[in-house]
């Protein structure tokens, strides 16, 4: 039976009714990756051997009707910046190429209790810095829809894995769009939850105030199942929140805002058309739709590229060759640290560390980092007032469809622009989702992004699911081996 295209709920139903076994799914998954990895390089490591026992145990539970939940026996791919105990966490960096984590991230502990299975660790832009998965020390990942193209990033490995069906769903992390943009490029659902609803403990930090773990999946329902498993207050993460979800209407009583600034220059006609398509559907269904303006959104890339590098310059300081990871010797301790960092980090990581160090330097703090913080605060206020009039905000997820590998590597600024639509949600801590809407003239997926106010994740998922049904995208990439 072909299990790979099924949703988590469908698979679980088959397992429960003893019409299929987790170990059968397990075999199909690894058969698939055996053929897809050479073309795509979605995974940095595959856990075929180590997780077989888990799949068999899962069989056992289902046959005894002792299964623990919807994720029991479901193979998930994990982005390689999330720690799984006794497995390597490389962050696609030479710096951590030999680092084996002695502990589990909280999201992994939670998935473990639900008896989920891991296919392996997926490729990413080094330390999640990038938008194409080309900044990996271990080679780029390709887009399953067309291997000349990038899968997006930084969670490009996770997206390529799900799109190529070498996992049922995946975890990614999203600092400026790193879940939503690759999901959009690969025709998938990518969900970045409200900041603080999913623990960051065990996620290798890029920019702590922006990072959030979330699912990349084939459907909104799959995203919901994973989100409800990994979310919840965690005493190990001081920024974890314990507040109740807020309900928004998701039927036609909901008010939809179209973000004017994200439908202007810099956004391709094709991307705008997808939003128009969604607007038409919503209009037909009787939703109240209005154009809204958030002027500060235009500054979001500038704000982001001060705040994220500033935080990363401190977050990545711990990689010094002293306690773990790469060590390049030197005559003194300082020389050793310098040599290690010079050799261990790639260019994009160094670029951001330097940028952040500069932005925080004495005499420049107020002008750069301080100003960015104030602008961020204003942007949060701007969103708050918009969310008094609107329940959901719709925009393209990305300015364009996926670009070709190598196309933007020599121009970092152009690469940064591909996160234009996604960054605001990180700056404001909002839940945001990308759902696939259609294919471009190049036969590459496009998507739209929906944002809502903090702590309305469940309503956002419900609303998105309604749209997903209407859009009926339901396409899979074919023949990526070309």
Partner 1 sequence: MNLKPTIGIETHIELNTNTKMFCRCKVVDTEDPNISLCPTCIGLPGALPVPNEKAIRYITLLALATGCAITKKGMFHRKNYFYPDLPKNYQISQFDLPVGENGKLEIVIDNEKDYVEIERVHMEEDTGKSSHEGTGRIDSATSTSLDFNRSGVPLVEIVTKPVIQSSKVAVAYIEELRQLAIDLDISEGKLEKGNLRFDANISVAPSKSDELGTKVEIKNMNSLRSLERAIDYEIKRQSSAIENGESIIQETRHWDESKETTTSMRSKEGSADYRYFSDPDLPNMVLSDKFVNQVKESLPSLPHENRNKLVETGLDLSDSNVLSKSEKWILELYFKVFDNTKDSKATFNWITGELQGQMRKLEIKSLPEWFSPNFLSDIIQLIDANKISFTSGKVILEELIQKDTTPDDVAKKLNLYQENDESAISKIVNEVIKNNQDIVERIKNGEDKLVGFMVGQIIKSSGGSINPGIAKEILSKELNL
Instruction: Enumerate binding residues for partner 1 (CB under 8 A).
Output: 81-83, 89, 91, 96, 99, 101-103, 105, 200-205, 207-209, 235-239, 310-311, 313-314, 317-320, 322-324, 332-334, 337, 357, 360-362, 365, 369
d(CA 315, CA 288): 44
> Among the options 54, 79, 94, 110, which is catalytic?
79
User: Which of 372/433 has CB closer to partner 1?
Assistant: 372
Based on the residue annotation, tell me whether 154 is a catalytic residue of this protein: yes
- Minimum CB separation from partner 1 for residue 35, in Å? 32
Q: Phi and psi of 107, rounded to 5°?
A: -60, -35
Q: Which is nearer to partner 1, 360 or 421 (CB)?
A: 360
Cβ closer to partner 1: 360 or 446?
Answer: 360
Half-sphere exposure of 248 (CA within 13 A, CB side): 27
One DSSP character per residue, 121-175 reads: EE--SGGG--SSS---TT----BTTBTTB---SSTHHHHHHHHTTSSSEEEEEES
Closer by beta carbon to partner 1, 81 or else 136: 81
All residues at 6 or more sequence positions from 3 whose CB lies less than 8 Å from its CB, including other chains: 11, 14, 20, 24, 25, 28
Angle between helix axes 300-315 and 371-389 (nearest 10 degrees) is 130
- Residues with Cβ within 8 Å of 63's Cβ and at least 6 positions away in sequence, in order, are 18, 21
3-state secondary structure at position 428: helix
Residue 243: HSE in the Cβ half-sphere, 13 Å Cα cutoff: 12
Tell me whether residue 18 or residue 103 sits nearer to partner 1 (CB atom). Answer: 103
Least spacing, CB of residue 339 vs partner 1, in Å: 13
Closest distance of CB 109 from partner 1, Å: 13
Of 169, 233, 225, the closest CA to residue 200 belongs to 233
Smallest separation, CB 313 to partner 1 (Å): 8
Q: CA quadruple 346, 352, 358, 361: dihedral positive or negative?
A: negative
* 391-393-394-395 Cα dihedral, nearest 10 degrees: 180
Residue that has been written with the tokens 């622009």 in this structure: 417
361 is catalytic: no
**Known active-site residue 79:** yes
Query: With respect to partner 1, which residue has the nearer C-beta, 238 or 410?
Result: 238
Judged by beta carbon, residue 270 or residue 311, the one nearer partner 1 is 311
Residue 11 or 372: which CB sits closer to partner 1?
Answer: 372
Question: What is the spatial distance between Cα 128 and Cα 151, in angstroms, rounded to a whole number?
Answer: 14
**Shortest distance, CB of residue 404 to partner 1, whole angstroms?**
32
- Active-site option among 109, 136, 166, 178: 178
Sort strands 392-396 and 43-46 into parallel, antiparallel or unpaired.
unpaired
- Please give the radius of gyration of the chain, using alpha carbons only, rounded to the nearest integer: 21
**Separation CA 275–CA 272 (nearest Å):** 5
Closest by alpha carbon to 195, among 211, 215, 171? 211
Instruction: Tell me the two tokens of residue 54.
Output: 């888990």
Least Å distance, CB 76 to partner 1, is 18
Backbone angles phi, psi at 447, to 5 degrees: -145, 170
> Which of 23, 154, 166, 313 is the catalytic position?
154
Distance of closest approach, residue 368 Cβ to partner 1, in angstroms: 11
Shortest CB 304 distance to partner 1, Å: 14
* Residues involved in catalysis: 79, 154, 178
């Amino acid at each position: 039976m072909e299990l790979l295209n099924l949703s988590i709920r469908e698979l679980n139903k088959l397992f429960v009714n003893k019409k299929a076994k987790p170990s059968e799914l397990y075999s199909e998954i690894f058969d698939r990756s055996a053929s897809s990895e050479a073309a795509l390089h979605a995974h940095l490591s595959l856990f075929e051997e180590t997780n077989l026992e888990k799949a068999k145990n899962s069989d056992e539970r289902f046959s005894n009707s002792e299964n623990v939940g919807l994720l029991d026996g479901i193979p998930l791919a994990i982005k390689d910046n999330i720690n799984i105990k006794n497995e390597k966490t490389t962050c696609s960096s030479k710096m951590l190429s030999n680092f084996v984590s002695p502990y589990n991230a909280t999201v992994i502990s939670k998935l473990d209790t639900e008896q989920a299975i891991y296919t392996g660790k997926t490729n990413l832009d080094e330390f999640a810095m990038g938008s194409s998965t080309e900044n990996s020390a271990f080679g780029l990942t390709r887009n399953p829809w067309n291997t000349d193209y990038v899968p997006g990033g930084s969670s490009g490995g996770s997206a390529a894995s799900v799109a190529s069906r070498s996992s049922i769903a995946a975890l990614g992390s999203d600092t400026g769009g790193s879940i939503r943009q690759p999901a959009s490029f690969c025709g998938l659902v990518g969900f970045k939850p409200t900041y603080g609803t999913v623990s960051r403990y065990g996620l290798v930090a890029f920019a702590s105030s922006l990072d959030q773990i979330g699912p990349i999946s084939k459907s909104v329902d799959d995203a919901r199942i994973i989100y409800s498993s990994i979310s919840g207050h965690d005493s190990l993460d001081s920024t974890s929140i314990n507040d109740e979800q807020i309900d928004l209407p998701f039927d036609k009583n909901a008010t939809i805002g179209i973000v004017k600034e994200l439908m202007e220059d810099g956004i391709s006609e094709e991307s705008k058309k997808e939003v128009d398509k969604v607007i038409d559907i919503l209009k037909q269904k009787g939703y109240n739709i209005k154009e809204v303006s958030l002027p500060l959104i235009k500054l979001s890339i500038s704000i982001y590229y001060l705040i994220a590098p500033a935080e990363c310059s401190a977050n990545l300081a711990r990689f010094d060759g002293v306690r773990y990871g790469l060590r390049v010797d030197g005559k003194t301790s300082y020389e050793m640290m310098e040599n290690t960092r010079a050799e261990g980090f790639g260019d994009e990581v160094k670029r951001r560390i330097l940028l952040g160090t500069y932005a925080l330097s004495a005499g420049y703090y107020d002008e750069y980092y301080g100003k960015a913080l104030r602008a961020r605060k204003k942007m949060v206020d701007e969103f708050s007032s918009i969310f008094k009039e609107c329940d959901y905000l719709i925009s393209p997820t990305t300015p364009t469809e996926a670009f070709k590998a190598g196309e933007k590597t020599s121009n970092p600024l152009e690469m940064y622009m591909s996160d234009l639509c996604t960054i605001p949600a990180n700056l404001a801590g909002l839940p945001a989702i990308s759902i696939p809407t259609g294919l471009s003239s190049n036969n590459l997926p496009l998507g739209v992004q929906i944002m809502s106010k903090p702590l309305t994740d469940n309503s956002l998922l419900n609303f998105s699911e309604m749209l997903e049904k209407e859009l009926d995208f339901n396409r899979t990439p074919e023949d990526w081996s070309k």
